[in-house]
Amino acid sequence: MINYKHFLVNIIKNNSKIKGIKMILNCFCKDNKLLKVFLEDNTDNNKSDFINQEVNKCDKLKLKLNNFLNGDNVNFKENVDWNLLNLGDFQKKVLFETFKIPYGEVRTYKEIADAFDSKAYRAVGTALNKNPIAIAIPCHRVIASNKFLSGFRLGLKLKKQLLINEGHEIVKDKLIF
């Protein structure tokens, strides 16, 4: 069991650059480090892994998430503790490579795998689908080799809007370069 602070981030179309989307992100953190991010209606939330106890305040982290969702270029480096995430070796490699993708850029699943000499391109997608702290580890910046948007744990609608916020043009779920 992990002691944590739980907070909610509301995404409401009138208060954010996330247009036409209304949802609540559940966020769990400890010592200003993200542990888990998931949608309110996500059945894979594993709340049982956490003890509902406030360890400390994560107000700065909540503000950073809100700023990012409003289109700001936010660095989450200080909010990720790789040792707290309980990742397997392959998933850690995938998420670490994904974490290095700069704001406004994208990579393909193949490019992520190639970065650590793997040919397991589909497994990269599976590892990203299990990203416990989506947004801070920006898996929305990973696309298919044909430039189409594919899979995102928080929903393709949000992935599309996040990429648009970062300056990408998307037509019929395909990035235009």
Q: Fill in the amino acid letter for 23.
A: M
- pLDDT at residue 123 in the model: 97
Claim to verify: residue 107 and residue 156 sit in the same structural domain = yes
Give the pair of three-digit tokens for residue 43. Answer: 């059945």
Claim to verify: residue 69 and residue 101 sit in the same structural domain = no
Claim to verify: residue 130 and residue 65 sit in the same structural domain = no
Query: Which residue range forms the structural domain that includes residue 58?
Result: 2-79
The Cα–Cα gap between 129 and 92 comes to 13
- pLDDT at residue 33 in the model: 85
Claim to verify: residue 53 and residue 112 sit in the same structural domain = no
- pLDDT at residue 174 in the model: 96
Examine the residue annotation and report whether 139 is marked as an active-site residue of this protein: yes
Q: Which of 161, 151, 129 is nearest to 38 (CA)?
A: 129
Domain boundary among 79, 108, 132: 79
- pLDDT at residue 78 in the model: 92
What are the pLDDT tens digits along the chain (177 aa)? 445 555 655 554 434 556 666 667 777 887 788 888 877 654 444 554 544 444 345 778 878 888 888 889 999 999 999 998 989 999 999 999 999 999 999 999 999 999 999 999 999 999 999 999 999 999 999 999 999 999 888 889 889 999 999 999 999 999 998
CB 52 within 8 A of CB 6: yes
Q: What total number of domains does the chain contain?
A: 2
The Cα–Cα gap between 128 and 151 comes to 9
Claim to verify: residue 56 and residue 136 sit in the same structural domain = no
Q: Give the residue ranges of DSSP H helices in the chain.
A: 59-69, 89-99, 109-115, 121-129, 156-165
Claim to verify: residue 20 and residue 67 sit in the same structural domain = yes
Claim to verify: residue 109 and residue 60 sit in the same structural domain = no
The Cα–Cα gap between 45 and 39 comes to 8
Domain boundary among 79, 101, 125: 79
Calculate Rg over the CA atoms of the chain.
16
Cross-strand pairs, 134: 137
Claim to verify: residue 75 and residue 97 sit in the same structural domain = no
CB 112 within 8 A of CB 82: no
124: domain CATH number? 1.10.10.10
In this structure, what are the phi and psi dihedrals at residue 54, rounded to the nearest 5 degrees?
A: -75, 120
Domain boundary among 79, 106, 140: 79
Claim to verify: residue 43 and residue 122 sit in the same structural domain = no
